[in-house]
Structure 1
Amino acid sequence: MSNFTDAARLATAALRDLFDPTPLQRNDHLSARYGAEIWLKREDLAPVRSYKIRGAVNAMRKVRVADPAQKQFVCASAGNHAQGVAYACRHFGVRGTIFMPVTTPQQKIDKTRVFGGDSVDIVLTGDYFDQTLTAAQKFCAEKSAHFLSPFDDPDVIEGQASVAVEMLEQLGKAPDLVILPVGGGGLASGVTGFMRDECPGTAFRFVEPLGGASLTAALEHGGPTTIAKVNSFVDGAAVARLGSCTYEMLKWVDPAQVLLAPEDRICVTMLEMLNVEGIVLEPAGALSVDVLPSLAEQIAGKTVVCVTSGGNFDFERLPEVKERAQRYAGLKKYFILRMPQRPGALREFLMMLGPDDDIARFEYLKKSARNFGSVLIGIETKNADNFKDLFANMQTAGFSYRDITADEALAEFLI
């Protein structure tokens, strides 16, 4: 047994003072679909609805043992790490100062305050996370406080390894495959660091959001590399740069083991898990389940564990998730129609719609010529193939249009 596995077991035991192991549940729906034993390690059911509490508690515990006089802790986070640190501060009776971007949704601020109570102060500063982080680190140095990294810290990684300790105890055997989401790499480092020692026959797949592939970039360049542009939709895993500590623990990974999940496809998975299973997952929490279709042939007949890493989902985002899911599935499209300015033209267009086609958006943008006007139209349908008929009818009738559904610049500006 290595020093790391010893430390992971100690971290797991210490967590029992705060909460019971999160459930490992066999999912009948997914198991039947893929002809496999699909288990979900439900980190979305942890006290702060995320595995982040594990690393925060373990790191704070070890600092307190090494330096009992240290009673001030600082972190920078807009989400799950902030809530984990707040919970840990209240548990250990220490002061926490949590820096969050000014743009952080009020729901996340309120939840952080609930978990921390009187033990934490929340400072809202910076429009972007980098600005928030700089302010947090400056404050930390001035106050001689201890900075708690969300992932790039050996003690945090040890804490996240408790997910694997529980998983093996609950399953009672080594799984054939474990699927892990990756942001900064703390969870993936901890779980693989423990399991590669304890069950070397287990295989791994790592899932990153397409717009935040920090592990992919690090493996490609031989070290942590900053991504120029990050899509922030999968906020729990949209990290611009993999950690240095986590890279050292993950540099053995074959790039072929890393899968990328398109943000809109993740929305389809989130809705399915909500509507079919009643499981609320945040975008990062759905990553491990999202890639199952692409692994279908490889996992048939095998025991697979998907780590659902978090369930901090603000239901005010549900319309956006539904919109993205429909667009990915081809059930909703937006296009700009050059509408003839003559009596009966609109009626003619409406007659082209099928019985399952609904107008979700209709807006005149401008009159581009005396005889034509540009119209933004959004159409929802029940079958993606219906758009073939609609567009064919429009072409036959001489209606000029441009499909902007996949045009990010226009869609962001107009929709």
Structure 2
Amino acid sequence: MTDTVRRILNARVYDVAVRTPLDPMVRLSERIGAPVLLKREDLQPIFSFKIRGAYNRIAQLAEAARAAGVICASAGNHAQGVALSAQTLGIQAIVVMPVTTPSIKVDAVRHFGGEVVLHGDTFDEAYAHARTLEAARGLTFVHPYDDADVIAGQGTIAVEILHQHPNPIEAIFVPIGGGGLAAGIASYVKFLRPETKVIGVEPVDAASMKAAIDAGNRVVLDRVGLFADGVAVRQAGEQTYPLCRDLLDEVILADTDAMCAAIKDIFEDMRILAEPAGALSLAGLKSYALRNGTPHGALVAISSGANMNFDRLRHVAERAEVGEERELLLAVTIPEEVGSYRRFIHTLGSRTVTEFNYRYAAGSKAHVFVGLQLRDAKHEKREIVGELERLGYGVIDLSADETAKLHVRYMVGGRAAALTDELVLRCEFPERPGALLRFLDGVGTDWNITLFHYRNHGADYGRVLVGLQVPDSDRARFFERLTALGYPYEDETGNDAYRLFLRG
């Protein structure tokens, strides 16, 4: 820790980075009942804190290494940080990015003078290629987090926070991907103010640091979720892990809905659009405040980046209300008879309906997909469900059902009569031409496709719901072929939303 603090105090970042403000979040502070402060790293020249670590690393290079140039692998903010840092110092920079990288990110790197090499479908493939080029051309690899100078550069954020807020701080919440930002901030804060908590925040589906701390050693996750792509790291860093293990007070996990709600909170207070990873620490702060009550000092979150793809806004807006527990999604079973629809609406009374999906189905029962706006989630949800059950309605809460929120709510009414042996999968496809064709070619023509739903969410990977007719006797062979294909998937054949609204 002492060596890291020394490096932080000697870091070179302000040739290109700026000292960002620590702004109060007035509305959220009123809701929580404590001062909430947001460190505005979205105001950096590349709209992300990554410029600090990248510049400090490159600025430390000897003349021979500068002359040879630098290389990195990244599809996001680190790529822009390396490109701008190298441009400022007059150094050649090569950035290897997956072929799936959106053009807006590729264009941003080129704008800062970086030479872009597109290789592979995934970060791992791009990373391996960058390492090959590093060795072949004698370049210096600039790691996004697992480097002492990168960690030190990110740690300068902590120096600014403690200068800007000399009053008590109960906790500083830091997003974690590989752990460079958390390691740098925790080293400085615990050296100067050990009473201040430093709490890491990870997505629930990309919690590599928490997994490492729980296991007592670095582990490799089988897969990571990609909504918060800025922190989608399968393994904690070799240098960052021991610092985070020894210095962090805890690691909090946040799901997609909580991040979307935090993006909305930042927008309402600051009128800025944080990217999912940029709002991650605030999602953790809110979870902590709800769990722990009134804090003894300020709560600080880091707005780590604002490189938001515009296409994602629809998805964020849809999920924010659920994440804030301001919307309740229900599947309700009502009698399929004249007047039952009106009676059900009457039961809802004056509550605001955010969504209502219904289609006639033969038989004695009908299923309705309904969204309701909540004022007091803690009590109102239980009250609504209890009242509907008391009146004899079958009710299932779908507010936490990923398949229902991503797909089924847009497909209600699409039943297929006399369909047998249907298997339903929720998959992630790379957002690139030919991804679906590769899936179909890999699966083969032995099984009939019965259902397909896709919506663009502005991410590098698309979310797809696909159904196929696969007899029970053939499922072992099917899953063997699907596993070999390599696309992440979840079997949703038993999902309640699918069963009620889509199954024949």
Q: Normalized against structure 2, the TM-score is what? A: 0.70
Residue 82 to residue 389, structure 1, CA distance change in 2 (3 Å): same
- Take 2:347 and 2:195, find their aligned partners in 1: how far apart are those partners? 58
Alignment correspondent of 1:60: 58
Residue 215 to residue 144, structure 1, CA distance change in 2 (3 Å): same
Q: Secondary structure at the match of 1:67?
A: helix
Q: Secondary structure at the match of 1:69?
A: helix
Residue 268 to residue 412, structure 1, CA distance change in 2 (3 Å): closer
Alignment correspondent of 2:75: 78
Report if the CA contact (8 A) 1:174-1:199 is conserved: no
- Take 1:196 and 1:205, find their aligned partners in 2: how far apart are those partners? 12
- Take 2:330 and 2:28, find their aligned partners in 1: how far apart are those partners? 36
- Take 2:256 and 2:305, find their aligned partners in 1: how far apart are those partners? 16
Alignment correspondent of 1:408: 402
Q: How many residues in Structure 1 have an aligned counterpart in Structure 2?
A: 405
The residue type equivalent to 1:265 in the other structure is: A
2:51 matches 1:49: no
Report if the CA contact (8 A) 1:338-1:372 is conserved: no
2:127 matches 1:133: yes
Report if the CA contact (8 A) 1:184-1:242 is conserved: yes
- Root mean square deviation of aligned Cα: 3.2
Residue 236 to residue 98, structure 1, CA distance change in 2 (3 Å): same
Report if the CA contact (8 A) 2:144-2:150 is conserved: yes
Which sits farther off after the overlay, 185-194 or 138-147?
A: 138-147
- Take 1:276 and 1:354, find their aligned partners in 2: how far apart are those partners? 33
Extract unaligned runs of 5+ from structure 2. 410-504
1:136-160 superposed Cα distances (whole Å, 9 cap, x missing partner): 2223333222221110111211211
Q: Secondary structure at the match of 1:157?
A: helix
Q: Secondary structure at the match of 1:150?
A: coil
2:244 matches 1:247: no
1:327 to 315, 319, 322: 322
Residue 65 to residue 245, structure 1, CA distance change in 2 (3 Å): farther
- Take 1:314 and 1:239, find their aligned partners in 2: how far apart are those partners? 20
2:221 to 195, 207, 227: 227
Extract unaligned runs of 5+ from structure 1. none
Alignment correspondent of 1:377: 369
- Take 2:260 and 2:352, find their aligned partners in 1: how far apart are those partners? 22
Report if the CA contact (8 A) 1:334-1:376 is conserved: no
Residue 333 to residue 38, structure 1, CA distance change in 2 (3 Å): closer
Alignment correspondent of 1:290: 283
Q: Secondary structure at the match of 1:49?
A: coil
Residue 26 of structure 1: CA displacement?
3.8
The residue type equivalent to 2:280 in the other structure is: L
Q: Secondary structure at the match of 1:225?
A: coil
Alignment correspondent of 1:312: 307
Percent identity at matched positions? 33
1:124-177 superposed Cα distances (whole Å, 9 cap, x missing partner): 333322222222222333322222111011121121111122233333577453
- Take 2:295 and 2:380, find their aligned partners in 1: how far apart are those partners? 33
Residue 307 to residue 66, structure 1, CA distance change in 2 (3 Å): farther
Alignment correspondent of 2:232: 238
2:271 matches 1:281: no
Report if the CA contact (8 A) 2:170-2:296 is conserved: no
Q: Normalized against structure 1, the TM-score is what? A: 0.84
1:101 to 83, 98, 102: 98
Which sits farther off after the overlay, 164-173 or 308-317?
A: 164-173
